[in-house]
Structure 1
Amino acid sequence: MRASLAAASVLLLAGCSVSVPRPVTTTAPPPAPAVTSAPAPEKTGRAPRQSFDVDTRQLRLSRGTDRPLPVTIWYPDAGAGRFPVILFSHGLTGRPSDYAPLLEHWASAGFVIAAPTYPYTSRGAERVNALDVINQPADATYVLSEVLKLDRRAGDVLRGRLATDRLAAAGHSAGGITTIGLFSVARDERLDAGVVLAGSALGVGLGFTGPPAPLLFVHGELDSVVSYASGKAAYDRVPWPKAFLTLPDGDHGQSLLREGNGAFDVVADSTLDFWRWSLYGDTDAKRRLPEDAGASGLGRLEDQLG
């Protein structure tokens, strides 16, 4: 474990926010034996076809006196019914606002996104401690529990609007590590699906456990911060339905998550259809995934979703 944490610190201290990545060489975990995929419970339904206007709000949370966790929530501002909830984790020296274009894209399609600002890995933190990422899966679980309480809070704008049985986690870079932790060492068994953007399992391990949950990995082959090989190694160990979206010309964040380039559109469309399928049970969205990934020639999809 100490060796893993040391490797994680080297990786994370290189900087894994969207805006300021710095090159670092990382070592992928050793190859693992093949794991037989288990089927995930199928949800059935249809994702909303309309596009919603999106509102945001702030929620002030704290998991103890030394772990403040302010949360930004993006949500559809109108519409009947309940919306699935996605917990999103930012990268090192990042903040939720860095990912606003992607998170607004998801919310406009009928999802509620809750994005905490982590106390020791965010931009503007009094002291940045890369190793604190190992505490973030517990933070994420706490935040998700608190956000779900809004569904029952009298007078709250989200009262009666959260699909509390349709939950997911996603994250970029250090947030991708946090997300993998939620499906492994700190498994939150409420989660139905996950998306890992330019992440790896360094620091949290590859012991995926708990109920089957489909996972989508997205990684650029030119990523010089979190190596493509380390992301693929984590993906290879997932024992559930899974897919891996490769961006041959993708780096760690600029081409992956910034609007105004084709790679952003590939990531936005692919992840959205993955959510529509995994959280709403929309089979049409699942069928669109290969086209989302490859239509522009900017991505290729390895599909083991079943």
Structure 2
Amino acid sequence: MYDTTTATPATPTVAVRPVALPAPGRGQDLHVRVTAPTAGRDLPVVLFSHGATLTMDDYAPLADFWASHGFVVVQPTHLDALGLPPDDPRTPHIWRIRTDDLTCVLDHLGTIEAEVPGLAGRVDHDRVAVAGHSWGAQTASTLVGARVIDADGTPGESMADPRVSAAVLLCLPGTGGADLSALAAEYFPFMSPDFAGLKTPSLVVAGDRDQSPLTVRGPDWFTDGYRLSPGATDLLTLFGAEHGLGGIQGSHDTRTTDESPERVALVQRATLAYLRTALGLDDAWPTARRALTAAGEPLGRVDSK
């Protein structure tokens, strides 16, 4: 089995929520949860975008783990989690507002530092990654260059942000058009990405049993971002994993159908290793990748370009 040990020791963390950030034009302030280690300096940042119906209080298995190993994790609650009615004028633009939420966090990192006791002066603003799960992975991907294809079939404007240096994309939705189910075509037409502009180094994580009602294809739909983007350098495929990847959403979400602490531990350690290497901290990812490849009974496999 894959050795999930890590070279960086765990440290105590502190979580503060909600931190309110001004967001003109959004209709209300953006609320975020911040989880950070209580010790250390030059701390890199991970912005995390949640999936549908979830909030900033979910994904504790990832947020707490990353923070305990030296990252400041910022989790916004997107507007769709607040129950926008279909006739709200913001509803048709919700995917774009999600990306704006992440940009808003980047614009207000100083405010976040000031609101978390003991954090001021300890954040490395030059080492920032974005991550997300499911719809949140699509949101995160737009911050590193993926575009949404317009109704006329052409890629829309880029919302990429040069302040982001890496991405972890968990269960990233694949291509749209004929690959979408009738359900997705009606309610999520913006799930029609163009990955050609996704050039920022990214890790895609997918489950080989993740059969989504959003697509007429199989679990391979969630690997499109790896196959079609120049920046997605690595693909971690988890064997036996469904959409919850073993339960990364945490105990607040009861929809996990493939609960597996071992699988969650693999996601924790592999993503931490990737983030550390992609942000220039050390060579943890090549070591983790070799260990996974050499495992006698692996929980998954890594493909790399």
Query: So what's the TM-score if we normalise by structure 2?
Result: 0.74
Kept after mapping to 1: 8 A contact 2:204/2:232:
no
Give the Cα–Cα distance (whole angstroms) in 2 for the partners of residues 159 and 220 of structure 1.
Answer: 38
Find the counterpart in structure 2 of residue 283 from structure 1. Answer: 283
Deviation at 1:262, TM superposition (A): 1.7
Find the counterpart in structure 1 of residue 51 from structure 2. Answer: 91
Change (3 A) 1:293 1:144: farther
Give the Cα–Cα distance (whole angstroms) in 2 for the partners of residues 174 and 190 of structure 1.
Answer: 22
Give the Cα–Cα distance (whole angstroms) in 2 for the partners of residues 89 and 195 of structure 1.
Answer: 11
Percent identity of paired positions between Structure 1 and Structure 2: 28
Q: Does 1:197 align with 2:185?
A: no
Q: Does 1:137 align with 2:99?
A: yes
Deviation at 1:215, TM superposition (A): 0.4
Deviation at 1:48, TM superposition (A): 7.7
Give the Cα–Cα distance (whole angstroms) in 2 for the partners of residues 198 and 155 of structure 1.
Answer: 31
Query: So what's the TM-score if we normalise by structure 1?
Result: 0.74
Q: How does 1:218-237 map to 2 (within 5 A)?
A: 218-225=205-212, 228-237=219-228
Give the Cα–Cα distance (whole angstroms) in 2 for the partners of residues 180 and 208 of structure 1.
Answer: 11
- What amino acid is the match of 1:52? T
Deviation at 1:96, TM superposition (A): 2.4
Change (3 A) 1:243 1:154: closer
Kept after mapping to 2: 8 A contact 1:266/1:292:
no
Give the Cα–Cα distance (whole angstroms) in 2 for the partners of residues 284 and 292 of structure 1.
Answer: 12
SS of residue paired to 1:98 = coil
Deviations 1:97-120, CA, capped at 9 Å, x for gaps: 220111101110000000000012
Count of residue pairs the alignment pairs up: 253
Change (3 A) 1:155 1:86: closer
Q: Does 1:242 align with 2:243?
A: no
Deviation at 1:86, TM superposition (A): 0.5
- Which sections of structure 2, spanning at least 5 residues, go unmatched? 1-5, 146-157, 177-189, 251-258
Give the Cα–Cα distance (whole angstroms) in 1 for the partners of residues 290 and 85 of structure 2.
Answer: 42
Give the Cα–Cα distance (whole angstroms) in 2 for the partners of residues 155 and 98 of structure 1.
Answer: 19
Kept after mapping to 1: 8 A contact 2:134/2:170:
yes
Find the counterpart in structure 2 of residue 9 from structure 1. Answer: none
Kept after mapping to 1: 8 A contact 2:238/2:245:
no
Change (3 A) 1:134 1:149: same
Deviation at 1:248, TM superposition (A): 2.5
Q: How does 1:155-174 map to 2 (within 5 A)?
A: 157-174=118-135
Deviations 1:219-271, CA, capped at 9 Å, x for gaps: 11211226533221221122136100111311001625257522111111110
Give the Cα–Cα distance (whole angstroms) in 2 for the partners of residues 154 and 301 of structure 1.
Answer: 39
Which of residues 159, 183, 203 is equivalent to 2:144?
A: 183
Change (3 A) 1:63 1:48: farther
Q: Which has the higher contact order (CA 8 A, sep 6+)?
A: 1
Deviations 1:176-222, CA, capped at 9 Å, x for gaps: 01011111231011111000001125536224438x52100001121
Give the Cα–Cα distance (whole angstroms) in 1 for the partners of residues 92 and 261 of structure 2.
Answer: 30
Give the Cα–Cα distance (whole angstroms) in 2 for the partners of residues 197 and 294 of structure 1.
Answer: 23
Give the Cα–Cα distance (whole angstroms) in 2 for the partners of residues 219 and 70 of structure 1.
Answer: 29
Find the counterpart in structure 2 of residue 82 from structure 1. Answer: 42
- Which sections of structure 1, spanning at least 5 residues, go unmatched? 1-46
